Amino acid sequence: MAEHNVLGKRGEVLALEMLKTKDYKILETNWRYKRDEVDIIAMDGNELVIVEVKTRSTGFFGDPEDAVDEAKMLRLVRVAEEYIEQNSLENECRYDIVSIILNNNKSKIRHIKDAFYPFQA
């Protein structure tokens, strides 16, 4: 597995652990629809939460969450809509980002609630 993929998986594990400490109920990890994927789907109380995890080894080139551009947001919304339809959910939905800088076994984790709101292209 490529080094960046290993780093990404380590970040997803840290994000899951952090969300569980906040009493999120994890419904899915790496849920796919066609060619797109959501890292984590969880419940925060009665609210469905779509979580994108971005992990970097350094913040030199910007914060990890800066990598979630408009195209990525549109893909996340599309996948979330499919998940909601397939599971006949009527819950409110929120989009969060977990931003992680991970190097030398040290981590800086930032949970950004309501990181963006869905929009149409």
- Tens of pLDDT along 17-55? 999 999 999 999 999 999 999 999 999 999 999 999 999
Count CB atoms within 10 A of the CB of residue 73: 19
11 vs 80: CA distance, rounded Å: 21
pLDDT computed for residue 58 by the predictor: 77
- Asked if 78 and 70 touch (Cβ cutoff 8 Å), the reply is no
> What's the pTM?
0.90
CATH ID of 3-116, from 2.60.40.10, 3.40.1350.10, 2.120.10.30, 3.40.50.300: 3.40.1350.10
DSSP code of 65? G
- pLDDT band at residue 103 using 50, 70 and 90 as cut-offs: confident
Give the strand pairing for 47-56 and 93-103: parallel
**Locus of tokens 């913040």:** 59
Asked whether the predicted pLDDT for residue 105 surpasses 50, the reply is yes
Domain ranges of the chain: 3-116
Give the pLDDT confidence score for residue 111 in this predicted structure. Answer: 97
